[in-house]
Amino acid sequence: MTADHESTQGGAKAGESQSSGQSSLVRYAWLSIAASIVTIILKTTAYWLTGSLGLLSDAAESLVNLVGAGVALAMLIIAARPADEDHQFGHNKVEYFSSGAEGMLILIAALSITVSAVGRLLHPRPLESLGLGLIVSVIASLVNFAAARVLLAAGRKHNSITLEADGQHLMTDVWTSAGVIAGLIAVTFTGWQRLDPILAIVVAANIVRSGYRLVQRSVYGLIDTALPADERNVIADILKAYESEGVVFHALRTRQAAARRFVSMHVLVPGGWTVQQGHELLERIEAEIRDKLADTTLLTHLEPLEDPVSHSDAGLDR
C-alpha cells in the first residue's frame, strides 16, 4: 500500500481565506507609506533649518522607507492573488522580492550618505537653528516609532516578512534618529563641527547592517531554506508520540514561502492496515501539525512498513 496525501488548511475555503487575509495586509503598507511621507517632510525641514548632514542622512533613510513601502504595497497586492494555473502554490513568495529590494535601496542610501559625509568632514561648516531642528526631528521619530510598532505586530500576527521587514526598517530609523539627535546635542555643547559628518558615517554603517540583513533573509527565502529550528522541533515532538505506537517516519522536509509553510514526509505503517486506517492516521498527524503551525501545506506519503523499498526511498530523487 503506497499513497500520497496532500492537505492544506481547509482546502479551497482556506485558500480563499488566505487570499482575503493577505488583502487585509495592504492597509498596513499604506500606513507605512503615510508615515514615510510625513517623516520625510519633517526631517527635510529639520535639515533645512540646521544644515546638519546627520539630519540629511536621516531624511535620506526615510526616503528609502517610502520607496520600500511602495514596493511592499505592490508585493502584498500580488501575494494576495489566489493560486492560478501558472502559480498553483499561490504567490506568497513574491514577498521576498520586496524585502530584498528594500535592502538594496538601503545599501545605496548608505553609500550616498557616506560620500556626502566625507566631503563635510574635510570641509566642516557651522550648524544653525539646532533647537528647532531637533524638535522637528523628534516629532518625526515618534511618527516612525508608532508606525513601526503597528507593522511589527501585524507582521508577527500574519507571519508576513514584508510587514516585518518594513517595521524593522522603520524601527532602525527610530534608533538612527536618536543617535543623530544625541550627536547634534553634543555639537551644541562642544562646538566640534566635525562631529556631525562623523555621526552621519556611523548612521550609514548602521543602515548597511540593516540592509544586509534584509537582503540575506530574502535570499534564504528564495533558496527554500528549511523552517526555523524551533518549528522543526514542534513537528518532531508531534511525530515522536506516534513513533511510540510503531509508526515510522522519514524523508521529512520543510521549507517556507513567506507566510506559507510546506512540510512533506513519508509515513510507514503496518502493511495489513486498510486504506481507511492509513487515511485517518495521516489526517490526525496533519491536523496536529496545522494546529501548532498555521498556514502549513503538508504532503504525506504512506508506505508499508514491511516492504524493504519503503526504507530506501528517503533521498530527494528517489
- For 177-198, how does the pLDDT look when each residue is reduced to its tens digit (9 = 90+)? 777 777 777 777 777 777 777 8
Mean per-residue pLDDT over the chain, rounded: 78
Distance CA 40, CA 168 (A): 18
CB 5 within 8 A of CB 299: yes
DSSP of 236-302, one letter per residue? HHHHHHHHTTT-EEEEEEEEEETTEEEEEEEEEE-TT--HHHHHHHHHHHHHHHHHHSSSEEEEEEE
In order of their start, the domains of the chain are 12-222 (1.20.1510.10), 229-311 (3.30.70.1350)
Residues in CB range of 209: below 8 A, 6 or more apart: none
| Cα(193)–Cα(51) distance, integer angstroms | 11
Q: Which of 21-35, 128-142, 299-313 has the highest mean pLDDT?
A: 299-313
Name the E strands within the chain.
Answer: 3-7, 248-257, 260-269, 296-304
d(CA 293, CA 231): 8
Q: pLDDT-derived band of residue 11, with 50, 70 and 90 as boundaries?
A: very low
The whole model's pTM is what?
0.59
**CB 53 within 8 Å of CB 116:** yes
The grid coordinates listed for 162 are 514584508
Closest to 151 measured CA to CA, from 272, 29, 39: 29
pLDDT classification of 10: cutoffs 50, 70, 90? very low
- Helix, coil or strand: residue 228: coil
pLDDT in tens, 126-171: 665 567 777 888 888 899 899 989 988 888 887 777 787 778 778 7
H or E element in which residue 63 lies: helix 53-79
For the chain, the 3-state helix, strand and coil shares in percent, each to the nearest 5, are: 70, 10, 20
Query: How far is residue 196's CA from residue 58's CA, in Å, rounded to a whole number?
Result: 12
